[in-house]
Amino acid sequence: MINKRVEAAVNEQIKREEHSSRLYLAMASWCEVSGFPGAAAFLYAQADEERMHMLKFVHYLNDRNGHALMAALDMPAPEYKSLHDVFEQVMKHEEYITASINELYGISFEEKDFTTANFLQWFINEQIEEESTMRGILDKLNLAGEGKSGGLFHIDKDLAGMAAARATTTGTTAE
Ligand code: OFO
């Protein structure tokens, strides 16, 4: 039976991963109606990944004799100021999730639940990768500056390419 404190913390993480998925879905939807089809495809794919993360935690908790719960979620913001604003918020959110995974790792250690700590290793590596991807996109957007310039058009095309590459490696499509 999984430790009760670890179970509660994993359930909190399930909520955060599901919220991440909905947040990226809201951002994808805004990009889609704002003339950024590449960013939309990228964020739809990212929303799918976050749902997959949520499911990993759900199965893990239930396999350890815990009970994964589906909490109520707040509505994510529907509007964004710019593509730059979207990815600045993505970056902040990923940093928040990294801190949250680290906190969960700390709780697992305190409770001597080394099985959960070991399970979390995959997420720790995943967060390194995601933060680096998002930082790269944000750097390009910073270089392009605000406004709908040619630079933004190219970044949007790059994002479409990244979404397509991801779909071929995971076997999913963003559409
Ligand atoms: Fe769930 O991977 Fe980042 O947030």
Domains held by the chain: number: 1
**Token pair for residue 1?**
């039976």
d(CA 52, CA 40): 18
Kindly state whether residue 108 falls inside one of the protein's structural domains: yes
Atom of ligand 1 nearest to the CA of 130: 3
Kindly state whether residue 175 falls inside one of the protein's structural domains: no
pLDDT digits (tens, 9 = 90+) for 75-98: 999 999 999 999 999 999 999 999
Confidence band of 160 (pLDDT split at 50, 70, 90): very high
CB 68, CB 61: distance < 8 Å: yes
Kindly state whether residue 9 falls inside one of the protein's structural domains: yes
Position 62 scores a pLDDT of 98
Expressed as residue numbers, the domain containing 162 is: 4-170
Give yes or no for residue 146 having a pLDDT over 80: no
Kindly state whether residue 123 falls inside one of the protein's structural domains: yes
Global confidence as pTM = 0.94
Share of the chain above pLDDT 70, in %: 94
Kindly state whether residue 53 falls inside one of the protein's structural domains: yes
- Residue 54 Cα to ligand 1 middle (Å): 9
Backbone angles phi, psi at 7, to 5 degrees: -60, -45
Confidence band of 171 (pLDDT split at 50, 70, 90): low
Kindly state whether residue 103 falls inside one of the protein's structural domains: yes
pLDDT digits (tens, 9 = 90+) for 24-73: 999 999 999 999 999 999 999 999 999 999 999 999 999 999 999 999 99
* Sequence-distant (≥ 6) Cβ neighbours of residue 52 within 8 angstroms: none
Position 148 scores a pLDDT of 55
Kindly state whether residue 8 falls inside one of the protein's structural domains: yes
- Residue 161 Cα to ligand 1 middle (Å): 20
**CATH assignment at residue 31:** 1.20.1260.10
Going by the DSSP 8-state scheme, the letter that residue 34 receives in this structure is T
Confidence band of 175 (pLDDT split at 50, 70, 90): very low
Atom of ligand 1 nearest to the CA of 97: 4
